């Protein structure tokens, strides 16, 4: 269940991030609200992961302000974050104990993600799809107020993708904030509430659901990026 009090939004104000001479994020304002499915979309290298890390308070901006409310945040990046030599169940136990998770909720997450059938397997032996789902389960076991995921669908098969997206939609429906970074927006089209399009470290477009076309979001996104490239 969500805390009784609705959490404050996560906010980035005029943030900039330099890595040496490279400007990865250049003057971005971004607000992530609770109860919202927020997609950060952009080509490779556009700054999505850097923005996600700033929203999590993991990366300090070179300039600008980050406001992260004092609530639990869950995340899963593209690299595995579990213990490879422990079983699935042991991973859940360790992460659950560290975050004070409710064991009933952890069990429900395991089952809902279809991980209960591999709970006794060593995590390092799991297929790519199960490995990603385990990371998601570990992020979810403390029932975070905000769940922020970097390219969560990766190379999963289409059935698993669909199930995960449905699950994320339900997580949002329960009042949590969900943020995903992706370069394949179409997969989230049925659920997305807010769309932020980034290109070369800047926001090209940041609008709620009512403002963007209901269908063929991927074409919409690609055309926006191409027209930005042409006007450079
Ligand atoms: P995306 O997630 O959209 O692919 P990133 O935020 O990962 O974009 O990267 C934005 C830019 O910043 C890229 O040019 C990338 O090479 C660079 N970058 C990201 N992280 C680092 C880092 N730790 N050190 C140096 N450059 C980085």
CA of 96 to the centre of ligand 1 (A): 31
- Report which ligand 1 atom has the smallest distance to the Cα of 46: 3
Predicted pLDDT of residue 4: 58
Question: Domain boundary residue among 139, 154, 176?
Answer: 139
Same domain? 155 vs 62 = yes
CA of 47 to the centre of ligand 1 (A): 6
Kindly give the parts of the chain with pLDDT less than 70.
1-4, 214-215
Same domain? 132 vs 156 = no
Name the region of 100 (left: φ>0; alpha: ψ -120 to 50; beta: rest). Answer: left
Residue 29 is given by DSSP the state E
Contacts of 74 (CB under 8 A, 6+ apart): 139, 140, 142, 144, 146, 147, 148
Same domain? 194 vs 215 = yes
**CA nearest 35: which of 221, 209, 222, 231?**
209
Question: Domain boundary residue among 122, 139, 156?
Answer: 139
CA of 157 to the centre of ligand 1 (A): 27
| 222 domain-assigned | yes
| 3 domain-assigned | no
- Domain of residue 211: give its range: 10-71+145-230
**CA nearest 174: which of 36, 74, 70?**
36
Instruction: Report the distance separating Cα 6 and Cα 83, nearest Å.
Output: 33
| 4 domain-assigned | no
| 5 domain-assigned | no
Instruction: Report the distance separating Cα 48 and Cα 184, nearest Å.
Output: 13
Average pLDDT, the chain: 90
Predicted pLDDT of residue 53: 96
Instruction: Report the distance separating Cα 48 and Cα 41, nearest Å.
Output: 7
Same domain? 152 vs 57 = yes
**pLDDT tens digits, one per residue of 91-138:** 999 988 888 888 888 888 888 888 999 999 999 999 888 898 899 899
- CA nearest ligand 1 atom 14, residue: 45
CA of 52 to the centre of ligand 1 (A): 11
| 99 domain-assigned | yes
* Complex-level ipTM beyond the 0.90 threshold: yes
Q: What is the dihedral of CA 199, 201, 207, 212, to 10 degrees?
A: 10
Same domain? 169 vs 125 = no
**CA nearest 10: which of 143, 144, 151?**
144
Same domain? 63 vs 37 = yes
- For the Cβ of 127 lying below 6 angstroms from any atom of ligand 1, the answer is no
Same domain? 156 vs 130 = no
Predicted pLDDT of residue 9: 97
| 1 domain-assigned | no
Question: Domain boundary residue among 139, 164, 188?
Answer: 139
| 92 domain-assigned | yes
Same domain? 150 vs 223 = yes
Task: Assign residue 59 the CATH number of its domain.
Answer: 3.40.50.300
- Two structure tokens written together for 51: 């923005």
Ligand 1: which of 16, 42, 45 to mutate, most ligand atoms within 8 Å of CB? 45
Same domain? 172 vs 221 = yes
Same domain? 134 vs 165 = no
| 24 domain-assigned | yes
Ligand 1: which of 17, 22, 154, 221 to mutate, most ligand atoms within 8 Å of CB? 22
CA of 26 to the centre of ligand 1 (A): 12
Same domain? 153 vs 135 = no
């Amino acid at each position: 269940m969500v805390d009784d009090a609705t959490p404050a939004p996560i906010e980035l104000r005029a943030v900039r991030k330099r890595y040496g001479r490279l400007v990865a994020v250049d003057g971005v304002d971004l607000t992530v609200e609770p109860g919202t499915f927020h997609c950060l979309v952009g080509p490779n290298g556009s700054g999505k992961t850097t923005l996600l890390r700033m929203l999590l308070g993991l990366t300090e901006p070179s300039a600008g302000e980050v406001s992260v409310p004092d609530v639990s945040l869950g995340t899963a990046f593209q690299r595995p974050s579990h213990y490879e030599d422990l079983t699935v169940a042991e991973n859940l136990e360790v992460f659950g104990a560290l975050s004070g998770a409710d064991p009933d909720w952890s069990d429900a997450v395991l089952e809902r993600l279809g991980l209960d059938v591999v709970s006794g397997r060593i995590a390092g032996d799991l297929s790519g799809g199960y490995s990603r789902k385990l990371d998601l389960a570990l992020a979810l076991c403390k029932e975070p107020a905000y769940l922020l995921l970097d390219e969560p669908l990766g190379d999963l098969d289409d059935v698993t993708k669909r199930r995960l997206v449905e699950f994320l939609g339900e997580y949002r429906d329960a009042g949590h904030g969900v943020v995903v970074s992706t370069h394949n927006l179409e997969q989230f089209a049925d659920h997305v509430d807010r769309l932020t399009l980034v290109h070369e470290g800047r926001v090209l477009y940041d609008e709620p659901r009512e403002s963007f076309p209901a269908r063929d979001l991927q074409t919409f996104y690609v055309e926006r990026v191409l027209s930005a490239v042409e006007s450079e």
